[in-house]
């Protein structure tokens, strides 16, 4: 079997971590009898440098024609990068927002869990960690404040800026269904996060989620206000199974959750539409300060590639093998700098990729 | 000297914690020669029970006519309380939003710091805590998404809800000035938090903050994206001095920050307008599950009362005395249940109030 994969190396550490993910994918392909054909697609700063825009129509067309998209990371250092002098819709991030919308990738899955082997990196106290935690954040990715109508005006010399947060019930229903579906494969609990004591959009969110919950009598639904959730992630992350929330709350809470695990360099993500199609990228950013130095941890991207095999290509066995290889490498004591601890062997980006590919 | 204080006991543990704060204020008054005249004002569920609305015009008038407002907490248990069957604008929280707007309390100060004596309650690892941390969150409180135009419509049977986030440059400037002013009295650093890579309102926010910063060459300004800030609060809270941000980001981040300290029962807050006038309330909520059981920690409210003396009544010496009394009580080993640790003496709400009043 052969599949077409659009590859977006992106900016910063993107190219080097994607390269290692491809290496591991190819090792899995050899073992499990499939072939991936890669087409490189420019996005973000890399695209601005060549085309003057963060994402071209051709790039979108190539992504659409593929079976799945594998991405590194986009964006540069806001302080020093020339891209940040450009108009907002010409900056690297605009490419990411655009591809999400164009490919209708409304369902963003971000697992956040504690690696037994990396417990020491967790910023929380031992008694809070307990037996560890394992959450899945289901973030709505193509609606809400980040895609609403916005404008800046000036009246009598006073500038005013407006952003709009809107959701209709269909947008809420489809992400809620995804959240409950995944809870069913996990610990059967959904925590829906909103600000229903203030926002109209949150009240609609809550009512639609309650409606969807009726089809899942085996899943427990709990509502939590976003400010409380930001506290609970620190106080007791063990309580969460699936966190279901809208775009902006999901942006903030998923980053908090991944930092709470202490292993942000290890966390993958998948952005899916109604079909099997998806875009896979690490949860972390482009880390321009360490780009090109063989220092970046490629594991989040490698695990994102495993998610791609599972969700978009139905290659579950190969996905399992990659995940097992990552676990084995950790057990064997290899670490990149970000997760290094005493008694372990420190390795670079390329060597980490080699070690995982060998174990697939 | 005599001052008029509007007192809003509110719901849940509100009445019992406010009572202890008044006890401590009266002890300070006796010692430092001032008198506080209290007028009780109903708000939240307590007002709904009597008047059918969470805040009456008379209540607003009484608050406006006072020198300052001291508040407990409002709201009940969303699961069991009859208030939550009411229309949103009739629920307890609507009273709090309304009084903030009516009294123009745009500047919300929330200190979040680690008590040396309560270090054990901090959820973070010792090496992250280091020498401790001490942040001040300056949250804009009367603009943004929580006060924007909102509506829910239905078209062809599909419901759609819209909330609006808007800021003009005057609203941003006045809160930024407050943020820089307070940084000047602290460690001279402002971290302004926004989502300027996506939102128009955040880009205006950033540009106005940069403008204000020009008048404070002695204060270092740093910009941080809200998703990153949610991470940094867990990874390294020591880096922050003053966090300056808009209403909703401030809601989420200040709750996260207070939980990171491990002492949410100890954290005060002040909501100020352009004059000396302010409303003072604990950072925590109404904890309906422990209401009326003499279990609540009154210290956050007592410290809010001390802030009231300092900011609204210019009674700095008395404010200092209350803060010193709180420290002394902790040193003497007294704890309410929420901050209890081995070797300490457990006391109830009333006894904690007595112990602090004695030490003023
Ligand atoms: C780059 C930015 C637009 C993006 C977002 O906020 O969605 C990023 O923070 C993310 O979470 O993927
Ligand atoms: C009760 C609610 C409206 C309020 C807010 O979100 O502003 C509360 O969470 C707070 O932070 O004071």
Q: What are phi and psi of B127, to 5 degrees?
A: -70, -20
B74: exposed, middle or buried (Cβ count in 10 Å: 0-12, 13-18, 19+): buried
Confidence of residue A206 (pLDDT cuts 50, 70, 90): very high
Tell me, what's the pLDDT at A100?
A: 98
The answer, yes or no, to whether residue B79 has pLDDT greater than 90, is no
Share of chain B above pLDDT 90, in %: 94
Name the average pLDDT for chain A.
96
Mean pLDDT of A79-93: 87
Q: Dig out the tokens for A24 from the structure.
A: 């591991």
In chain A, what's the furthest Cα-to-Cα distance? 69
CB contact under 8 A, B251 and A226: yes
- Tokens 């919300």 sit on residue: B108
**What angle, rounded to 10 degrees, do the helices at A349-359 and A316-331 form?**
120
Tell me, what's the pLDDT at B27?
A: 98
Confidence of residue A81 (pLDDT cuts 50, 70, 90): confident
pTM of the full structure:
0.96
User: How far, rounded to the nearest angstrom, does the alpha carbon of residue B76 sit from its chain's CA centroid?
Assistant: 18
Chain B residues whose beta carbon lies within 8 Å of the beta carbon of residue A201: 150, 161-163
| B22/chain A closest Cα distance in angstroms | 28
A165: exposed, middle or buried (Cβ count in 10 Å: 0-12, 13-18, 19+): buried
Mean pLDDT of A225-237: 97
Ligand 2: residue of B93, B138, B142 to mutate (most ligand atoms within 8 A of CB) is B93
> Is the pLDDT higher at B358 or at A89?
B358
Mean pLDDT of B112-140: 94
Name the average pLDDT for chain B.
96
Q: Alpha carbon of B341 to those of A231, B296, B302, B359: distances in Å?
A: 21, 16, 21, 22
Q: How far is it, in rounded angstroms, from Cα A116 to Cα A331?
A: 10
Tell me, what's the pLDDT at B76?
A: 85
Topology, domain A114-267: Isopropylmalate Dehydrogenase (3.40.718)
Q: How far is it, in rounded angstroms, from Cα A22 to Cα A353?
A: 9
Pocket (CB within 6 angstroms of ligand 1): A 93, 96-97, 251; B 197-198, 227
- What is the location of CATH 3.40.718.10 in chain B? 1-103+277-360, 110-266
> Which chain A residue has its CA at the smallest distance from B89's CA?
A198
Q: How far is it, in rounded angstroms, from Cα A115 to Cα A332?
A: 14
The answer, yes or no, to whether residue B282 has pLDDT greater than 90, is yes
The DSSP string of B123-150 is SB-HHHHTT--EEEEEEE-SSGGGGS-E
| A142/chain B closest Cα distance in angstroms | 13
Confidence of residue A77 (pLDDT cuts 50, 70, 90): confident
Confidence of residue A89 (pLDDT cuts 50, 70, 90): confident
Q: Which helix (H) or strand (E) holds A334?
A: strand A334-335
In A195-233, which ranges are E strands?
220-225
- What is the location of CATH 3.40.718.10 in chain A? 1-103+277-360, 114-267
Among B125, B161, B255, beta carbon nearest to A201: B161
Q: Dig out the tokens for B299 from the structure.
A: 């210290």
Check: CB of residue A230 under 8 Å from CB of residue A110: no
* CATH class belonging to B110-266: alpha beta
Mean pLDDT of B188-205: 96
Quick one: residue A121, left, alpha or beta (phi over 0 = left, psi -120 to 50 = alpha)? alpha
Confidence of residue B82 (pLDDT cuts 50, 70, 90): confident
Mean pLDDT of A62-84: 92
Confidence of residue A79 (pLDDT cuts 50, 70, 90): confident
Give the B window 48-107 contacts with A, CB below 8 Å.
Answer: 75, 78, 88, 91, 93, 97
Q: How far is it, in rounded angstroms, from Cα B258 to Cα B127?
A: 19
- Tell me if the domain spanning A1-103+277-360 has CATH number 3.40.718.10: yes
């Amino acid at each position: 079997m052969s599949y077409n994969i659009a590859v977006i190396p992106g900016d910063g550490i993107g190219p080097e971590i994607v390269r290692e993910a491809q290496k591991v994918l190819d090792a899995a392909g050899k073992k499990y009898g499939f072939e991936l054909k890669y087409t490189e697609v420019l996005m973000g700063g890399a695209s601005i440098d060549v085309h003057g825009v963060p994402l071209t129509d051709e790039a979108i067309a190539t992504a659409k024609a593929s079976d799945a998209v594998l991405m590194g990371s986009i964006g540069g250092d806001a302080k020093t990068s020339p891209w940040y002098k450009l108009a907002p819709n010409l900056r690297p991030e605009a490419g990411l927002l655009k591809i999400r919308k164009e490919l209708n990738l409304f369902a963003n899955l971000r697992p956040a869990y504690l690696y037994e082997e990396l417990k020491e990196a967790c910023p929380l106290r031992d008694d809070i960690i307990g037996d560890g935690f394992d959450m899945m954040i289901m973030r709505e990715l193509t609606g809400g404040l980040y895609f609403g109508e916005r404008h800046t005006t000036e009246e009598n010399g006073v500038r005013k800026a407006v952003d709009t947060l809107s959701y209709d019930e269909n947008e809420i229903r489809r992400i809620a269904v995804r959240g409950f579906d995944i809870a069913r494969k996990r610990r059967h609990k959904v925590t829906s996060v909103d600000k229903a004591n203030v926002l109209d959009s949150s009240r609609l969110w809550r009512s639609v989620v309650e409606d969807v919950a009726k089809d899942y009598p085996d899943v427990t639904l709990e509502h939590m206000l976003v400010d409380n959730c930001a506290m609970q992630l620190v106080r007791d992350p063990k309580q969460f199974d699936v966190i279901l929330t809208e775009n902006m709350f999901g942006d903030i809470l998923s980053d908090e959750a991944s930092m709470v695990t202490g292993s942000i360099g290890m966390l993958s993500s998948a952005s899916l539409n109604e079909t099997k199609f998806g875009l896979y990228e690490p949860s972390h950013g482009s880390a321009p300060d360490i780009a090109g130095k063989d220092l970046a941890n490629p594991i989040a991207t490698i695990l994102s590639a495993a998610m791609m095999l599972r969700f978009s290509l139905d290659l579950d066995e190969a996905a399992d093998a990659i995940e097992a290889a990552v676990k084995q490498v950790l057990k064997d004591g290899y670490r990149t700098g970000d997760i290094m601890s005493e008694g372990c062997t420190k390795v670079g980006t390329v060597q980490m990729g080699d070690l995982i590919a060998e174990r697939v």
